[in-house]
Structure formats: C-alpha cells, structure tokens
Amino acid sequence: MKYNGLNPESVIHVGDFLIIPNGILKAPVSAYATARTATEASRRVNGYFIFPTSGRNWGKLHPHNAVDIANSCGTPIYAAAGGTVSISKTSGWNGGYGHYIEIKHPNGTKTRYGHLQTNLVNVGNRVNQGDLIAYMGTTGHSTGCHVHFEVWGATNPFAR
C-alpha cells in the first residue's frame, strides 16, 4: 500500500495499475510496459517520455520513483506522454502532493505531476505528448517552486 501511495481508505478500481515490489510478471507486456521487479533497471522506456518542463532537474530519485525539477513558479508543465487524465486535484494537501495531476498512458504506465500552481486539465481529458497541462507551483509539502515528477510502471528516465 505504501509503495503505491495508498492508505487504508483508498479504493482500488478495475483497470488501476499497481506496482508489486519484487513481483513476477506472468503475462507478456508490450516493449514499453514494465513491472517493478529486481530487473527493472534493465528495462527502460527509452524515448517514450519527454522532459515535462524547463528547469533544473535535481535527478535524485526519491519515493514513488520521482525526481524534482525546479524553476520559477508559473513555469509551464507539459504531458511527458499522451494519455488520459485520471486525477486532477486543484485544492488541498493531498498527502503532500498539493495540487497534482496523474495521467494514465496506453502502455500501462502512469505519470504524476505534483506541487502545481494551476491545473489546466480535468479528469477524463485526453492529452497528447507535449500538451500544456499545468503551471509549476509550491503547493503541498514543498520547499520551493518545482514539479515532483513520478513515473509508475517504468524506470523514471530523468533520474541520474
């Protein structure tokens, strides 16, 4: 539950993508989809995601397979890959994410963009890679203007 950012009140729906640490994949997956296993480091999603904003990529991988990318508040944030907006929180603490967006991608991965100043998309919206989805902020548990960028189901290509 902790690895997937769930709490005891969380509801899991059919079609949700969950990561099982050290799980074993039983069914074949596309060349882009991966499972978080001991061999995940060897399975990368090269070229699938674009850098979602401009600014300094701290590159240090932290919980939820995330990196922080810092710039001025109000810096545009773009969809790293095409998909459907599954979450768009425009108020509240939200477990420290503050305002955030989550996008489900056709290859089975998800990306999450946290600490946003302004969300420009709503749940159910279809976005293309490179579409403007938000502006950088410092909401939730944040120490300054940046975007907390997570990749679920694949290696974060921006971790160093």
Average pLDDT, the chain: 82
Rounded Cα distance, 157 and 160, in Å = 8
Q: What is the pLDDT of residues 43-79, one digit of tens each?
A: 345 678 999 999 998 878 888 889 999 999 999 999 9
Q: Which residues pair with 104 in a beta bridge?
A: 84, 110
pLDDT at position 8: 78
Q: Give domain 40-152's CATH superfamily.
A: Glucose Permease (Domain IIA) (2.70.70.10)
Per-residue pLDDT averaged across 118-122, rounded? 98
Q: Are 99 and 119 a contacting pair, CB within 8 Å?
A: yes
DSSP-based three-state secondary structure for 89: strand
Two structure tokens written together for 71? 């710039």
Backbone angles phi, psi at 116, to 5 degrees: -75, 150
Domain ranges of the chain: 40-152
